[in-house]
Chains A and B, each alone.
Chain A
Amino acid sequence: MSQQNAVIDQGLAAERQTEWSQQGKMQTRAAAVWNRYKRNKFAVAGFIVFTIYILAAIFAPLFSQYDPESFDIMDADLAPSLSHPFGTDSMGADVFIRALFGARISLSVAVIATTVTVAFGVIYGAVSGYFGRAVDMIMMRIVDALQSIPSFFLLLIIAAIMVPSMWSTIIALSTFGWLNMARIVRGEILSLKERDYATAALVTGEPKRAIIFYHILPNAIAPIIVIATLDIANNIIAEATLSFLGLGIQPPTPSWGNMLSSAQELVTLTTYPWTALFPGLCIMIAVLAVNFIGDGLRDALDPRQKNK
Chain B
Amino acid sequence: MMTRLQSHPDPIVQVKGLKTYFYTEEGVVPAIDGVDFEVLRGETLAIVGESGSGKSVTSLSIMRLIPSPPGKIVEGDITFNGESLLTKTNAQMRQIRGNKISMIFQEPMTSLNPVYRVGDQIAESLKLHQGMKKKQALKEAVRLLELVGIPEAERRVSQYPHELSGGMRQRVMIAIALACNPELLIADEPTTALDVTIQNQILHLMKQLKEKTNTSIILITHDLGVVAEVADRVVVMYAGQVVEQGDVYTIFENPKHPYTIGLLESMPSHKKRTGKLKTIEGVVPNPLHLPPGCRFAPRCEFATDLCRSEVPAVITVGQEETVRCWKYTERWEGNLNEHSAV
Q: Which residues of A contact B109 (CB under 8 A)?
A: 7, 10-11
A122 to B117, CA, bound (A): 24
B160 touches A304 (CB 8 A): yes
User: Does A2 make an interface contact (CB < 8 A)?
Assistant: no
Q: Which residues of B contact A277 (CB under 8 A)?
A: none
Contact of A204 among B102, B114, B117, B165 (CB under 8 A): B102
Q: Scan residues 191-226 of chain A and give those whose CB is less than 8 A from a CB of chain B.
A: 195-197, 199-207, 215, 218-219, 221
User: Does A51 make an interface contact (CB < 8 A)?
Assistant: no
User: Does A265 make an interface contact (CB < 8 A)?
Assistant: no
Known: A195-B110, A203-B63. A11 touches B165 (CB 8 A): yes
User: Does A21 make an interface contact (CB < 8 A)?
Assistant: yes
Q: Which residues of B contact A207 (CB under 8 A)?
A: 94
Known: A14-B163, A26-B155. A197 touches B113 (CB 8 A): yes
User: Does A17 make an interface contact (CB < 8 A)?
Assistant: yes
Contact of B114 among A29, A202, A205, A219 (CB under 8 A): A219
Q: Which of the four size classes fits the interface of chain B?
A: 35 or more
1/0 per position for A135-174, CB-CB distance to B under 8 A? Answer: 0000000000000000000000000000000000000000
A203 touches B162 (CB 8 A): no
B128 touches A204 (CB 8 A): yes
User: Does B129 make an interface contact (CB < 8 A)?
Assistant: yes
Q: Which residues of A contact B97 (CB under 8 A)?
A: 202-205
Q: Which residues of A contact B158 (CB under 8 A)?
A: 26
State how many angstroms separate the Cβ of A188 from the closest Cβ of chain B: 13
Contact of B128 among A10, A11, A202, A205 (CB under 8 A): A205
User: Does A35 make an interface contact (CB < 8 A)?
Assistant: no
Q: Which residues of B contact A195 (CB under 8 A)?
A: 110
Q: Which residues of A contact B165 (CB under 8 A)?
A: 11, 14-15, 18
State how many angstroms separate the Cβ of B140 from the closest Cβ of chain A: 15
User: Does A303 make an interface contact (CB < 8 A)?
Assistant: yes
User: Does B61 make an interface contact (CB < 8 A)?
Assistant: no
Q: Which residues of A contact B99 (CB under 8 A)?
A: 205
1/0 per position for A4-23, CB-CB distance to B under 8 A? Answer: 00010011001101100110
B96 touches A303 (CB 8 A): no
Q: Which residues of B contact A206 (CB under 8 A)?
A: 94, 98, 124, 128
Known: A203-B65, A219-B115, A304-B160. A196 touches B95 (CB 8 A): no
State how many angstroms separate the Cβ of B191 from the closest Cβ of chain A: 15
User: Does B125 make an interface contact (CB < 8 A)?
Assistant: yes
Q: Which of the four size classes fits the interface of chain A?
A: 20 to 34
- For A26, the closest partner residue in chain B by CB is B158
1/0 per position for B208-235, CB-CB distance to A under 8 A? Answer: 0000000000000000000000000000
A196 to B110, CA, bound (A): 6
State how many angstroms separate the Cβ of A150 from the closest Cβ of chain B: 38
1/0 per position for A270-308, CB-CB distance to B under 8 A? Answer: 000000000000000000000000000000001110000
Contact of B162 among A17, A29, A202 (CB under 8 A): A17
Q: Which residues of B contact A18 (CB under 8 A)?
A: 163-165
Q: Which residues of B contact A197 (CB under 8 A)?
A: 110-114
A204 to B116, CA, bound (A): 16
Interface centre among A15, A205, A221, A304 (most CB of B within 10 A): A205
- A residues adjacent to B (C-beta < 8 A): 7, 10-11, 14-15, 17-18, 21-22, 26, 29, 195-197, 199-207, 215, 218-219, 221, 302-304
28 contacts between A and B (CB under 8 A): A7-B107, A7-B110, A11-B165, A17-B162, A21-B163, A196-B107, A197-B112, A197-B113, A200-B103, A200-B105, A200-B113, A202-B97, A203-B65, A203-B98, A203-B102, A204-B98, A204-B125, A204-B128, A205-B97, A205-B125, A206-B98, A206-B124, A218-B116, A219-B115, A303-B114, A303-B162, A304-B160, A304-B162
Q: Which 4 A-B pairs have the closest CB atoms?
A: A204-B98, A205-B97, A205-B98, A196-B111
- B residues adjacent to A (C-beta < 8 A): 63, 65, 93-99, 102-103, 105, 107, 109-117, 124-125, 128-129, 155, 158-166, 173, 176
Contacts A197-B113, A206-B98 supplied; 9 other A-B pairs, CB < 8 Å: A10-B109, A14-B165, A21-B163, A26-B158, A195-B110, A196-B110, A201-B113, A203-B103, A218-B113
